[in-house]
Structure 1
């Protein structure tokens, strides 16, 4: 049976936030207060739509944005991990579930030559419109009150697993690797022999630690194993494949 690797992207695969890294393409590398103050909690994707529009208004081309996005650093050890995954596709499937967008993730993975590691990317769709401006849309709508309005990662993961099962693919073990608050919800859909891997010192680790202190922890079945580098994850993956 195959192993499934599920990755968040920002502060996980890459060591920064792609949505804020893009501001480096602006002449002053910052946004005017009118746009900064327009953000409403849980509505980040709509905010990013306004950011993209502002970038276009400053006559920064998508090609210039791409050049900037390609300089975002990968988290230590992550390129080795993804390279290992890409050379073991017969036994490992790999997906990304991210609140970034299709253009940013595609650009970054292709620039590093790592796109072969990832089988599917679930994120907010983005494109260049007829004006030459970048546009981003919400991934989907959902009823989950834990998650941002545009993306419930648990819903995405469960739908992916159901479709794979319908196609005859079952996973012996699932690794869920992330860092943020929106990575907690999908952790609840993991089984007892799966592993949720929060990045050390980040929000997901703290939220999982709070669950440890609660008497009723039955909703989280997966083993929790924190990581600092991609090498930590790779070591655990290899150990799992050998057992």
Structure 2
């Protein structure tokens, strides 16, 4: 049976937020207040649509955006970890569930030659229209009250595991690697002995440590292993495969 690696992207695979990194391609490397103030809680994807429209209005080309996005730094040890996963595809499936978008993630993975490590990316679909403006849609709709309107990672992971099971693929262990508040929801559907790996010092680690008694019964089934470098995750993964 294979192992499943599930990664968040921003502040996990890469050491920054890809959606805010793109602002570096504007002449001022900043956004006007009217645009920043237009953000509504839980509606980040719609906000990013306005940001990319503004960048389009500045006549910033897709090539310029790509060149900037390719400079985002990977988190320490993540290139080594994903390279290891690339070399062990017979034992490891790997998916990304992210609130970024398809174009940014594809560019960033391709720039480091890491595309082959990742089997599926679940994120907000993005395209360039006939004006060369980048547009994006919400990944899906869902009923979860805890998550942003465009993405519930629990639903994505649950649907993926269900479709894999229907295809006869069952995982002996799942590792969920993330940093943010929206990475807590999917932890609730992991099975006994699965591993949640929160990045040290980030929101997910803090939320896990604050969980109330009811939720602790859920989490007692799981291994919680905080990390600072992808090399620590690699060590856990390598130990499982030997």
TM-score with structure 1 length normalisation? 0.98
SS at match of 2:177: strand
Alignment partner, residue 118 of structure 1 = 118
Alignment partner, residue 87 of structure 1 = 87
For these two proteins, the number of residue pairs brought into alignment is: 241
Q: Distance in 1 between matches of 2:198 and 2:115?
A: 23
Q: Distance in 2 between matches of 1:70 and 1:215?
A: 43
Q: CA deviation at 1:216?
A: 5.1
SS at match of 2:197: strand
Alignment partner, residue 219 of structure 1 = 218
* Residue segments in structure 1 that go unaligned for 5+ positions in a row: none
SS at match of 2:99: strand
SS at match of 2:216: coil
* Residue segments in structure 2 that go unaligned for 5+ positions in a row: none
SS at match of 1:10: coil
* Cα distance, 1:152–1:21 mapped onto 2, change above 3 Å: same
SS at match of 2:184: helix
Q: Which 4+ residue blocks in structure 1 deviate beyond 4 angstroms?
A: none
Q: CA deviation at 1:241?
A: 1.8
* Cα distance, 1:114–1:216 mapped onto 2, change above 3 Å: closer
TM-score with structure 2 length normalisation? 0.98
Alignment partner, residue 237 of structure 2 = 237
Alignment partner, residue 177 of structure 1 = 177
Q: CA deviation at 1:94?
A: 0.1
Q: Distance in 1 between matches of 2:215 and 2:119?
A: 36
Q: Distance in 1 between matches of 2:24 and 2:214?
A: 46
Q: CA deviation at 1:131?
A: 1.2
1:13 lines up with 2:13 in the alignment: yes
Q: CA deviation at 1:225?
A: 0.5
Q: Distance in 1 between matches of 2:170 and 2:184?
A: 23
* 1:122-167 Cα deviation digits (max 9, x unpaired): 0000000111100011000000001000000000000000000000
Q: Distance in 2 between matches of 1:116 and 1:34?
A: 40
SS at match of 2:218: coil
* 1:49-89 Cα deviation digits (max 9, x unpaired): 00000000000011100000000000000000000000000
Aligned CA-pair RMSD? 0.9
Q: CA deviation at 1:107?
A: 0.2
Q: CA deviation at 1:219?
A: 2.6
SS at match of 2:205: helix
Alignment partner, residue 78 of structure 1 = 78
Greater alpha carbon shift after TM alignment, 94-103 vs 217-226: 217-226
Q: Distance in 2 between matches of 1:73 and 1:234?
A: 19
Q: CA deviation at 1:214?
A: 2.6
